[in-house]
């Protein structure tokens, strides 16, 4: 784990926090607010006593003042299942440094933060299909195993987000936070990608791994461009006009993804694959906290 | 194939040059640099409208190379003006004889097609089997042999030339037809005759004296045992035109002699005639009912025993309600005019001037009888033969007549006309036909130049129609004449229209010409005969040129639609 995840890297991510607006019910005790009002420490409300309630939670001072029986309600913090869907398709390993490095470091960041907060974390790499996932685990001791797992991931073919998300949905995971780390370059187009994301029944965090030349390619002349995943070729004369049309298509792609994220109230962040991930955490974790 | 535009070596040199130039352009085409990218998702949109802007850029696509190469080669080929090589040694001269005799009119069922239609189709099929270098002539025997398609005629004309023909009412003179074919093929290479008939092949043999040729008999097979009423004719009596003779002609064709009974009865009344005769195959028989009044009555003709072909075994005819036009003649009536008058069976030539309803007078300006008259005059200046005839005035007599290229013969013109006479036809400045309606005394003047034996117009159906109209006009009839072949005629000129028995082509007795009265302005099929410049398909070089332009257009369309970018 020397190259991708150094000691400095691990130390740097320990101070970060992941805050969910609301944890789904039915989980273990952890640090996230939940709908369950039970035996926690943080007072939330009163409610009128009904026969059968626990008499130990009655507020006798209030009874003395009002003459009526009330119960004190406390918030019961629960854990947040975090499912990291990590794109390990061929395009993520194309070019140097590969986008997969930044993507895996970002996955490690998310995993480490969640484990620190006693959340359960599962990693689901995908390419043309789901790669053998790392079973969900919680607690800080699970982190080294996750980092080792991330380190050994290899290219897994063409991106097929639709099939992969469908396979992920069949695993019947408890609703939680689905973190999709990808370049979202599915050959079927952005509309198919959005359909795939829409089918996920989790709160979404979209982390897009980009490069500056994605938006402004520095190409010129008569080119036969070969897709690194599908080997599909496109003959193009790179001129001002064609570059303009390329940028328009790329912008439309970005806007479609952003619009979808906004409608789903999902967080959509971008990571530059050419820059160290640690330098970019400041813009992702505002004040050290990532609100999802 | 020969090249009439440029020599073969120049054609090949041009083709090689064009191929080299196109191939060079293809080799020098812009070759794109291959580059692997993370995704082509957005480039597909960017390249969508990136089309080749110059011809050189288009050459990067192999389909463009192939299409433009083919275009250039075809263009060179078209410039060379290729023609299919004629091989005189192998050319076949063929004469098709189509039997149009009595038996070819047989129908196997009511409303069915006669055997002649099958013969016509077979003739066209045989013509199509010939190669383009072969030459074809077609002879129809209806009943006498007649050349309807000459060796020089364009093949596409054949269908039209055969379309208006009808079988005759008497057996065909096949022997004469074979003799005519022999004379047509005399001195020709590879002479061949195809006889399309319903007669068995062993009954057909070239007559003695016919020249040698290969003979193929296409036996259409005989029709069913059949008898038919072929025609009906009412002939006015010479002495009393208000009565006349009703003549019916019946025909029979089959395997063996047969007893046939013909009955003529007034509509719903007693029979006027019942007669039984034994008829041989191919024989026609005439039946007469004498001394019938012209009372417009209905006559029902029945031929029995019924052979299940009722379409031609029963006919209903009408006796005319009026007398025919009786013409009295004086002097020697020109043959041309006599034939024209006899062609109209509503006309009888009664005898001398004064005996008839209308007089025909030759050489005298003022007939003495005081009846309406056709006057053949030669009082005017001489007119040279071959002088074109033009229509000089408007008259119902001239309506629809086709006088294109008609010329007059050697003779005199009419000279100065009487005060009320109006010119009808002129030759140059001279009037050759005129009409005068001086009160009740009507006159039609024809010049001797018009009725001369060498006058082209005299042998045209248009002239016969003009004469028939003139006679009817002079006799006070108000209907339009219809000139009928003698085999098909009945006295009432409207009979043919009502019976729908004939078809549009009618013939003039003694004339080999025919006219198609169903087409306005056309009175002579020879007007559309060979040499009239009918289109007979584009020449080969034009086809090649069209093909080349088509390929060029295809390349442009494919490029415009983005199939070639």
CATH of domain A7-23+81-291: 3.40.50.410
Query: Do residues B257 and B280 lie in contact, with contact meaning Cβ atoms separated by under 8 Å?
Result: yes
What tens digit of pLDDT does each residue of B333-369 get? 888 888 888 766 567 777 787 777 888 888 765 666 6
Partners of B89 in the β-ladder = none
* pLDDT on residue B485: 34
pLDDT tens figures, B26-72: 777 767 788 888 888 888 777 755 555 566 666 667 788 888 888 88
CA distance B64 to B552: 9
Residue A216, both tokens: 């402004």
Cβ of B43 within 8 Å of Cβ of A236? The answer is: yes
In the predicted structure, residue B487 carries a pLDDT above the cut 60: no
Q: Distance between CA atoms of B145 and B547, rounded to whole angstroms?
A: 44
Question: Is B45–A183 a contact, with Cβ atoms under 8 angstroms apart?
Answer: no
Q: What is the pLDDT of residue B114?
A: 75
H or E segment and range at residue A254: helix A240-263
Q: Write out chain A residues lying below 8 Å of B35, CB-based.
A: 219, 223-226
Whether the pLDDT of residue B12 is over 90: the answer is no
Question: pLDDT digit string (tens) for B405-423?
Answer: 889 988 889 888 877 888 9
Q: How many CB pairs under 8 A join A and B?
A: 91
Share of chain B above pLDDT 70, in %: 73
Q: Give tens-digit pLDDT for B222-266.
A: 555 667 776 677 777 767 767 778 878 777 766 678 888 899 998
Q: How close, in Å, is residue B44 to chain A by CA atoms?
A: 6
B470 three-class SS: helix
pLDDT score of A188: 84
d(CA B120, CA B131) in angstroms, rounded, equals 19
Interacting residues of B371 by C-beta distance below 8 A, sequence separation 6+:
B328, B353, B354, B356, B357, B358, B359, B441
Check CB contact under 8 Å for A185 and B34: no
pLDDT number for residue A250: 92
Taking CA–CA distances from A92, the nearest residue in chain B reads B38
User: Mean of the per-residue pLDDT values for chain B?
Assistant: 74
Query: Is pLDDT at B15 greater than 90 in this prediction?
Result: no
Low-confidence ranges of chain A (pLDDT < 50): 1-2
Return the exposure string of B119-129: e unless at least 16 CB atoms fall within 10 Å of the residue's CB, then b: bbebbbebbee
Rounded to an integer, the average pLDDT of B387-395 is: 87
Q: What is the DSSP letter of A87?
A: E
Give pairs for A167-170: CB < 8 Å, separation 24+: A167/A126, A167/A129, A167/A130, A168/A83, A168/A85, A168/A124, A168/A126, A168/A130, A168/A200, A169/A199, A169/A200, A169/A201
Residue A284 is predicted with a pLDDT of 75
- Closest residue of chain B to A95, computed from CA coordinates: B38
Q: Which strands form A267-272's sheet, in the order they lie side by side?
A: A134-137, A121-126, A82-87, A177-182, A203-210, A267-272
Chain A residues within an 8 Å CB radius of B54: none
Q: Which of A121-130, B87-96, B215-224, B462-471 has the highest mean pLDDT?
A: A121-130
> Does B416 contact A at CB distance below 8 Å?
no
- Is the CB of residue B44 less than 8 Å away from at least one CB of chain A? yes
Between CA B558 and CA B564 the distance in angstroms is 6
* Cβ-based burial of B512 (10 A; exposed 0-12, middle 13-18, buried ≥19): exposed
Confidence of residue B217 (pLDDT cuts 50, 70, 90): confident
Show residues of chain A in contact with B565, CB under 8 Å: 235
Which pLDDT score is estimated for A289?
Answer: 66
Q: Where are the beta strands (DSSP E) in B403-504?
A: 411-412, 422-427, 430-438, 441-447
Specify the DSSP element, H or E, that contains B496: helix B495-499
> Which residue among B31, B40, B49 places its CB closest to the CB of A225?
B40
- Of residues A125 and B210, more confidently modeled: A125
Domain edges within chain A: 7-23+81-291, 32-78
Contact indicator for B479, B322 with CB cutoff of 8 Å: no
- A285 and B CB contact within 8 Å: no
Given a cut of 90, whether residue B534 has pLDDT beyond it is: no
Helix axes A143-151, A99-116, angle to 10 degrees: 170
Least confident of B86-95, B241-250, B345-354, B485-494: B485-494
Is the pLDDT score of B467 beyond 90? no
A245 to B565: CB separation less than 8 angstroms, yes or no: no
**Is the pLDDT at B275 greater than 90, yes or no?**
yes
pTM of the model: 0.41
Render pLDDT for B287-334 as a digit per residue (tens, 0 to 9).
999 888 877 777 888 887 655 344 467 777 777 666 678 888 887 888
A215 touches chain B (CB under 8 A): no
Dist. CA B403–CA B462, nearest whole Å: 7
Per-residue model confidence (pLDDT) at position B481:
40
Decide: helix, strand or coil at residue B337. helix
pLDDT of residue B531: 29
Q: Pick the residue from chain A with its C-alpha nearest to B49.
A: A242
Q: Residues of A with CB below 8 A from B38's CB?
A: 91, 94-95, 183, 185, 211, 214, 228
């Amino acid at each position: 784990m020397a190259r991708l995840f150094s000691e400095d890297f691990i130390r740097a991510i320990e101070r970060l926090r992941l805050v969910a607006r609301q944890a789904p019910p039915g989980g273990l005790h952890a640090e996230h607010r939940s709908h369950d009002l039970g035996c926690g420490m943080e007072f939330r409300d009163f409610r009128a006593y009904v026969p059968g309630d626990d008499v130990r939670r009655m507020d006798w001072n209030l009874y003395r003042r009002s003459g009526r029986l009330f119960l004190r309600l406390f918030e019961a913090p629960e854990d947040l299942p975090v499912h990291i869907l990590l794109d390990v398709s061929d395009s993520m390993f194309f070019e140097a440094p590969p986008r997969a490095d930044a993507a895996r470091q970002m996955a490690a960041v998310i995993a480490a933060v969640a484990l620190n907060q006693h959340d359960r974390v599962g990693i689901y790499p995908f390419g043309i299909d789901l790669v053998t996932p790392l079973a969900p685990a919680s607690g800080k001791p699970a982190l080294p195993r996750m980092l080792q797992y991330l380190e050994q991931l290899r290219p897994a073919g063409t991106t097929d987000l639709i099939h992969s998300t469908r396979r992920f949905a069949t695993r019947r995971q408890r609703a939680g936070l689905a973190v999709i780390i990808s370049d979202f370059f599915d050959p079927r187009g952005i509309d198919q990608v959005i359909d795939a994301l829409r089918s996920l029944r989790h709160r979404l965090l979209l982390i897009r791994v980009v490069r500056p030349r994605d938006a402004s390619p520095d190409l010129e002349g008569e080119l036969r461009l070969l897709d690194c995943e599908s080997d599909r070729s496109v003959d193009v004369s790179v001129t001002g006009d064609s570059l303009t049309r390329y940028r328009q298509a790329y912008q439309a792609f970005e806007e479609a993804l952003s619009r979808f994220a906004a409608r789903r109230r999902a967080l959509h962040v971008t990571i530059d694959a050419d820059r160290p991930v640690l330098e970019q955490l400041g813009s992702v974790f505002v004040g050290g906290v990532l609100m999802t | 194939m020969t090249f009439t535009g440029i020599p073969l070596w120049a054609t090949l040199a041009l083709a090689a040059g064009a191929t080299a130039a196109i191939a060079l352009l293809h080799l020098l085409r812009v070759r794109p640099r291959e580059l692997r990218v993370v995704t082509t998702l957005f480039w597909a949109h960017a390249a969508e409208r990136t089309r080749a802007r110059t011809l050189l850029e288009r050459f990067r696509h192999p389909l463009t190379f192939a299409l433009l190469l083919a275009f250039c080669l075809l263009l060179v080929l078209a410039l060379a003006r290729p023609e299919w090589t004629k091989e005189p040694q192998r050319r076949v001269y063929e004469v098709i004889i189509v039997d149009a005799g009595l038996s070819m009119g047989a129908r196997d069922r009511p409303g069915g097609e006669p055997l002649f239609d099958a013969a016509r189709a077979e003739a066209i099929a045989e013509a199509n089997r010939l190669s383009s270098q072969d030459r074809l002539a077609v002879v129809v025997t209806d009943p006498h042999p007649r050349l309807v398609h000459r060796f020089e005629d364009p093949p596409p004309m054949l269908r039209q030339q055969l379309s208006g023909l009808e079988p005759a009412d008497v057996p065909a003179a096949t022997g004469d037809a074979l003799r005519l074919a022999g004379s047509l093929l005399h001195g020709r290479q590879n002479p061949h005759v195809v006889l399309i008939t319903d007669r068995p092949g062993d009954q057909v043999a070239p007559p003695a004296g016919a020249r040698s040729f290969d003979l193929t008999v296409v036996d259409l097979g005989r029709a069913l045992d059949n008898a038919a009423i072929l025609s009906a004719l009412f002939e006015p009596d010479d002495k009393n035109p208000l009565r006349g003779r009703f003549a019916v002609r019946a025909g029979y064709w089959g395997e063996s002699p047969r007893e046939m009974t013909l009955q003529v009865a007034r509509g719903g009344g007693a029979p006027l005639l019942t007669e039984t005769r034994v008829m041989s195959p191919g024989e026609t028989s005439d039946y007469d009912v004498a001394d019938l009044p012209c009372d417009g009555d209905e006559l029902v003709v029945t031929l029995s025993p019924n052979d299940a072909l009722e379409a031609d075994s029963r006919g209903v005819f009408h006796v005319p309600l009026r007398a025919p036009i009786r013409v009295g003649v004086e002097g020697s009536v020109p043959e041309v005019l006599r034939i024209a008058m006899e062609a109209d069976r509503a006309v009888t030539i009664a005898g001398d001037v004064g005996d008839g309803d209308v007089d025909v007078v030759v050489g005298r300006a003022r007939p003495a009888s005081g009846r309406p008259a056709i006057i053949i005059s030669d009082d005017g200046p001489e007119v040279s033969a071959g002088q074109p005839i033009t229509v000089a005035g408007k008259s119902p007599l001239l309506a629809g007549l086709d006088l294109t290229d008609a010329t007059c013969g050697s003779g005199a013109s009419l000279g100065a006309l009487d005060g009320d006479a109006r010119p009808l036809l002129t030759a140059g400045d001279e009037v050759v036909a005129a009409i005068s309606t001086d009160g009740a005394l009507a006159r039609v003047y024809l010049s001797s130049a018009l009725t001369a034996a060498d006058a082209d117009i005299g042998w045209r159906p248009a002239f016969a129609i003009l004469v028939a109209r003139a006679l009817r006009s002079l006799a006070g009839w108000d209907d339009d004449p219809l000139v009928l072949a003698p085999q098909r005629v009945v006295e009432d000129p409207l009979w043919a229209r009502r019976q729908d028995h004939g078809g549009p082509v009618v013939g003039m007795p003694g004339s080999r010409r025919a006219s198609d009265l169903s087409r306005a302005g056309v009175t002579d099929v020879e007007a559309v005969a060979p040499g009239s410049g009918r289109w007979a398909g584009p020449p080969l070089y034009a086809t090649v040129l069209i093909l080349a332009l088509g390929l060029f257009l295809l390349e442009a369309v494919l490029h415009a639609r983005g199939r070639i970018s």
